[in-house]
């Protein structure tokens, strides 16, 4: 069970970094205009 829990936490972390990355990309694109 603990292994699955760790995987879920890792997935959440990845999703979080992806979200942050996307936000940064949007911000950079806005700034370029």
Confidence band, pLDDT 50/70/90 cuts, at residue 4: confident
Q: How far apart are CA 17 and CA 24, in angstroms?
A: 10
Model pLDDT, residue 28: 85
Q: How far apart are CA 25 and CA 20, in angstroms?
A: 9
> By residue range, what is the domain housing residue 21?
1-33
Model pLDDT, residue 1: 66
Does the structure show a pLDDT above 80 at 2? no
Domain count, the chain: 1
Residue pLDDT, tens place only, 15-33: 889 988 999 889 888 887 6
Query: Whole-model pTM above 0.85?
Result: no
């Amino acid at each position: 069970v603990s292994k699955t829990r760790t995987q879920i936490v890792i997935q959440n972390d990845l999703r979080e970094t992806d979200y942050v990355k996307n936000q940064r990309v949007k911000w950079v694109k806005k700034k370029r205009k």
